[in-house]
Amino acid sequence: MTSPDLPSELKAALDGRLRGFSRNDAAGRSASISKTYRDGGGSGGIRSEADALAYALARMPATYAAVTASLNALVEIRPDFTPKSLLDAGAGPGTATWAAAEAFPSLQEFALLDANDALRALALGLVAESFRLRDVSYERGEARAALAKADAADLVVASYMIGEIGDAERRALAELMWQKSRDTLLVVEPGTPAGYARIIALREQLIAMGAHVVAPCPHDGKCPLAKPDWCHFSQRLQRSRAHKQVKGAELPFEDERFSYVVLTRAPVGARPSRVLAQPVVSKVEITAKLCTPEGVALTKVPRRAKTDYASARRWRWGDAVIEQS
């Protein structure tokens, strides 16, 4: 499994960019970018090199961790998947590209696209010293136009991107991303009810076009969760000193909530159930909320079932699990 923390090469590249910039200034910029997001805006306010760097310092560790957790879920179910080419739509500072490069040593071609000049320039600066990524191609342009021109890739990723696009446009974009996915498409969104709603709509749209779910769902049917519940996961990541300073945070870690779906062209065999919340461990039993091929189940594993109990103790929110008899 790939670590959720930024690879040292990327950390060093970010630190290198930070030299000559004031961390207080970066903190101010990052606070205003975060406020724009909270108010329902997007990354349009990221215009300068300093804005792009502030965004990357504050958010790249968390979006990287969420993409990595999603790719780990894919690898766990399809350990034989060895993509050669990647297409990163709405790549921003290149987060998903770095995560995919770590998760898949087989990747050789990396194509990124985004409309934001400042984020694109930062991404190219960050990969400049990387042996593996320095030759990426990065198209500047609106996603639909840029995607239409792009070559199909074995793996297509859209990380924290589809929320910045209107509903009608999003449907067209989803279809285009699917067309460009030779094998697999991963879409990651914030783990909010709205982020989940976008994931579930895209999932339904693409299943109707022949896609199959690899993760997190153990089935291609309708999502069994009903409002106000929603499917989301949590990934813990370490905060570096710069990360803490830019966020004005004390804790050395944070938990990123995210929703995701991995879709593929070929149907996957039997898929494991998915742990939908942190299981509750009591003296008599473990209670776990699982998404199973038959729907959502509150599974209880009694302590007296020693072997089952011991393995259920290791279950964590987001894990794929084979249910015991």
Ligand X SMILES: C[S@@+](CC[C@H](N)C(=O)[O-])C[C@H]1O[C@@H](n2cnc3c(N)ncnc32)[C@H](O)[C@@H]1O
Closer residue to ligand X (CB): 116 or 264:
116
Closer residue to ligand X (CB): 97 or 273:
97
* CA proximity to 254, closest of 63, 103, 26, 32: 63
Among 76, 109, 117, 142, binds ligand X (CB under 6 A): 142
In angstroms, the CA 32 to CA 35 distance is 5
Residues of 216-248 as b/e, b for ≥16 C-beta within 10 angstroms? bbbbbeebebeeeebbbbbbebebbebbbbbbe
In angstroms, the CA 77 to CA 63 distance is 22
* CA proximity to 317, closest of 273, 266, 262: 273
Tell me the window of 84-92, 178-186, 199-207, 249-257 that interacts with ligand X (CB under 6 A): 84-92
Closer residue to ligand X (CB): 119 or 263:
119
- The reply on whether position 165 binds ligand X by CB under 6 A is yes
Structure tokens at 94: 């290149």
Closer residue to ligand X (CB): 58 or 231:
58
Tell me the window of 91-99, 195-203, 264-272, 274-282 that interacts with ligand X (CB under 6 A): 91-99
Length of the chain: 325
- The reply on whether position 114 binds ligand X by CB under 6 A is yes
Q: What are phi and psi of 268, to 5 degrees?
A: -90, 150
Size of the site for ligand X (CB under 6 A): 21
- The reply on whether position 191 binds ligand X by CB under 6 A is no
Closer residue to ligand X (CB): 139 or 154:
139
Nearest distance in Å: CB 63, ligand X? 4
Structure tokens at 112: 């990124």
- The reply on whether position 90 binds ligand X by CB under 6 A is yes
Structure tokens at 179: 């067309």
- The reply on whether position 92 binds ligand X by CB under 6 A is yes
- The reply on whether position 95 binds ligand X by CB under 6 A is yes
Closer residue to ligand X (CB): 177 or 288:
177
CA gyration radius for the chain?
20
Our measurement of the distance from residue 248's CA atom to the centroid of its chain's CA atoms, rounded to an integer in Å, reads: 24
- The reply on whether position 119 binds ligand X by CB under 6 A is yes
Residues in CB range of 20: below 8 A, 6 or more apart: none
Structure tokens at 100: 């995919």
- The reply on whether position 116 binds ligand X by CB under 6 A is yes
| Residues 192, 164 contacting (CB under 8 angstroms) | no
- The reply on whether position 122 binds ligand X by CB under 6 A is no
Closer residue to ligand X (CB): 117 or 323:
117
Looking at residues 49 to 78 of the shown chain, list those that interact with ligand X (rule: CB under 6 A).
Answer: 60, 63
Q: Binding residues for ligand X, per CB under 6 A?
A: 42-43, 60, 63, 90-93, 95-96, 114-116, 119, 142-143, 159-161, 164-165
